Structure formats: C-alpha cells, structure tokens
C-alpha cells in the first residue's frame, strides 16, 4: 500500500471513530430543554429573582417576573419544571450549566459596575492585606435535597497572614428554585483556635436573598484553621415526591478576613486587664489562707481571760462552788 492510500485509509478510520463516539454520547431527550436553551432561561430567571427581591412586594412581583421570563422564551411553567426535574436527576449536566451561567452573571455584573457595590466590594481583593478575600473554592454551587448533592464543605488552613484577633465575614447569595415544600438551607462557619478550642456560628437560609455571617477571635488566641459547609435539608411535606424539584443555587461566595485595628486591640487589652483585676479582687479567701494568717499572729496578741486565785475568792462565793469529786482509785 502506497503512502497516499495509507493516508486516506487513516482518515476514514478517524472519521468513522468520530461518528461512533458522537453517536454514543448521551443526549438530552427532545421533550426537555436542551442545555443551551435551559442556560438562557435560567440566566433571565435569576435576574428576575434578583429584581423581585429588590422590591417591597416580593412574592407578587416574583411571580410576575418569572411569568415574563417564560413568555419571553416561549415555554410554559410545566415545561420548565419538567426540564429542571430531568436535569436534577443528571447533576453533572446541571453543574456544567450553572458553571457557565455563573460566568455569564459575573461578567454582566462587572460590566454594570457591580464590583464597586457593597455586594462585591471584597471580590477584587487578594489573599493578603488587612482586609482580604481568602475564599479559595468555587464561587458558586448547586445543592439538591438528595445526598450526596445536598451539602458542600470547605476547609482553609491558617498561615502567617492570620493575626490574633482577626474577624471573618462570609458573604453569599442564595437562590431557591422550588416546585413545592419549605425552603430550608443552612450555612455554617467555624474556626479552630490555637488552643484547639472551636468557635462557630450558623445562619438559616429560607428565601432568595443575600446573606452574611460573621465570626471573631475575641480572645485574641489565633486562628489555626477555618471550616464550614452549606446544606440543603429535605422538606417533610406530604406533597413532596422523588420528582419534586427542590434546588438551591449559592453564588458570589466570599470569605473576608479582617485584621484587628491597633485602636481596637489596645481597647480590648485594656478591658482584659480590667476584667482580670476585678476577678482577682472578687476571688474568695481560702481556708488555708485564713489558717496561715492566724498562725502568723504573735502569741502576745491573743488575750487570755484572767482567772482569779482561790485565795481571792470570798467565802460566800467559795460555798457556791461545787464540791471536788472523790477519786475512785484507793
């Protein structure tokens, strides 16, 4: 076989292999929204949720905005719910959609100047400095009520950039897409201190909103590591089935470490000294201390009651004295 024929044969083999692999790749059934279509719908969907949360009458406006999104894309609420139920059973595909969606939302926010807003004011900070964003994980995640997709944890080890008295503040947005049931999410933030004691705090997530949770090293002990997790609980309603759509989208995650200012450190040291002095003054005196004090008293300081001699006792008084006892020993 000459070289031209061998080259043509190789091209045919590669082409057939590509066709085989493409045909074997799983696809989304036609009755559901395709990944690109669903991403476009969810993009407008989350923008609508954010707009409805900024108004006073949240529930009524939210339904109006969502209805407008579905009408824009020419789908019904049932078609959207069924597609979301399908993707919730294929979490890898849903995860890819939300990864792409997060990038689009972030780009849109930056183009509108959101980096200067209160929400993202720490988003451009490095991991050093007095105020730093030390979050190292993904800035967004999707949680379902089915294990193991219902929780996501994180661990950050302390280093020399951490100072005694540091404060931590975790910021994030939570969006709920629920077909039925009560929204019940939780975020936990904990720190292990240098003496191996643990301080923790948590916040319940019950609605689409922006959340913040803060934790301080009040004792100025020093932070050894930071741990936490996000969790979506499953509702106990009788109307909930295995196909009920329940999803929580956590985005714009930031973990801000703030060094204690010199003024705050001086004020806290002063308060600690005052508390120590007050505690020492109010400490009870032990029995050993009292006995020790009595033992040190000189003998001359103990006054004995004088007893008059027998000769000085008058006769009437002598008669009133009891008679001496007789000895029983002969």
- Provide the mean pLDDT of the chain: 76
Residue 228, strand partner residues? 154, 189
Q: Give φ, ψ of 133 to 5 degrees.
A: -90, 110
Half-sphere exposure of 158 (CA within 13 A, CB side): 22
Two structure tokens written together for 284: 């009870």
Q: What is the average per-residue pLDDT within 14-26?
A: 46
Q: Which domains does the chain have, with CATH numbers?
A: 25-112 (no CATH), 131-263 (2.60.120.680)
pTM here is 0.62
Question: Percent helix, strand and coil across the chain, each rounded to 5?
Answer: 40, 20, 35
Rounded distance, CA 111 to CA 100, Å?
17
Residues 223, 193: Cα–Cα separation, whole Å: 4
**pLDDT class of 26 with cuts at 50, 70, 90:** low
Query: Residue 257: its pLDDT value, please?
Result: 95
Q: Give me the pLDDT at residue 222, please.
A: 94
User: Is pLDDT larger for residue 36 or for residue 327?
Assistant: 36
Tell me the C-alpha to C-alpha distance, in Å, between residue 235 and each of 146, 204, 239, 247. 11, 14, 10, 12
Q: What is the mean pLDDT of residues 11-17?
A: 47
| Structural contact between residues 127 and 72, judged by C-beta atoms closer than 8 angstroms | no
Q: What is the C-alpha separation between 178 and 248, in angstroms, rounded?
A: 8
The lowest-confidence range among 12-26, 27-41, 212-226 is 12-26
Q: How far apart are CA 46 and CA 175, in angstroms?
A: 8
Mean pLDDT calculated for residue range 179-185: 85
What's the pLDDT score for residue 22? 38
pLDDT band at 116 (very low <50, low <70, confident <90, very high): very low
Q: To the nearest whole percent, how much of the chain has pLDDT over 70?
A: 62
Tell me, what's the pLDDT at 317? Answer: 55
Which pLDDT score is estimated for 217?
94
DSSP assigned state of 114: G
pLDDT surpassing 70 at residue 304: no
Question: Residue 63 pLDDT more than 90?
Answer: no
Is the pLDDT at 124 greater than 90, yes or no? no
CA angle at residue 226 from 139 to 118, to 5 degrees?
A: 45
> Is there a contact between 183 and 176 (Cβ–Cβ < 8 Å)?
yes
């Amino acid at each position: 076989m000459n070289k031209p024929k061998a080259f043509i044969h190789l091209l045919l083999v590669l082409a057939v292999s590509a066709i085989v692999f493409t045909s074997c790749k799983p696809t989304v059934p036609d009755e559901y929204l395709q990944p690109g279509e669903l991403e476009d719908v969810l993009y407008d969907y989350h923008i609508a949720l954010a707009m409805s949360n900024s108004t006073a009458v949240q529930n009524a406006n939210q339904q109006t905005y969502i209805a407008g999104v579905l009408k824009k894309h020419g789908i019904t609420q049932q078609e959207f719910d069924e597609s979301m139920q399908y993707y919730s059973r294929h979490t890898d595909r849903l995860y890819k959609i939300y990864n792409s969606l997060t990038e689009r939302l972030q780009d849109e926010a930056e183009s509108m100047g959101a980096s200067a807003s209160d929400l993202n004011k720490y988003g451009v900070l490095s991991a050093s400095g007095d105020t730093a964003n030390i979050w190292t994980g993904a800035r967004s995640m999707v949680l379902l009520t089915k294990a193991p997709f219902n929780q996501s944890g994180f661990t950050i080890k302390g280093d020399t950039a951490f100072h005694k008295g540091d404060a931590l503040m975790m910021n994030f947005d939570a969006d709920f897409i629920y077909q039925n049931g009560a929204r019940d999410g939780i975020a936990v933030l904990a720190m292990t201190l240098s003496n191996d004691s643990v301080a923790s705090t948590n916040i319940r997530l019950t609605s689409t909103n922006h959340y913040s949770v803060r934790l301080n090293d009040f004792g100025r002990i020093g932070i050894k590591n930071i741990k936490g997790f996000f969790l979506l609980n499953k509702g106990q309603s009788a109307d909930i089935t295995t196909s009920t759509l329940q999803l929580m989208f956590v985005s714009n995650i930031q973990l801000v470490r703030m060094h204690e200012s010199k003024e705050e450190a001086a004020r806290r040291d002063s308060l600690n000294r005052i508390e120590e002095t007050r505690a020492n003054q109010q400490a009870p005196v032990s029995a050993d201390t009292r006995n020790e004090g009595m033992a040190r008293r000189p003998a001359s300081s103990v006054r004995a009651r004088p007893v008059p001699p027998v000769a000085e006792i008058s006769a009437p008084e002598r008669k009133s004295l009891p008679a001496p006892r007789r000895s029983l020993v002969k």
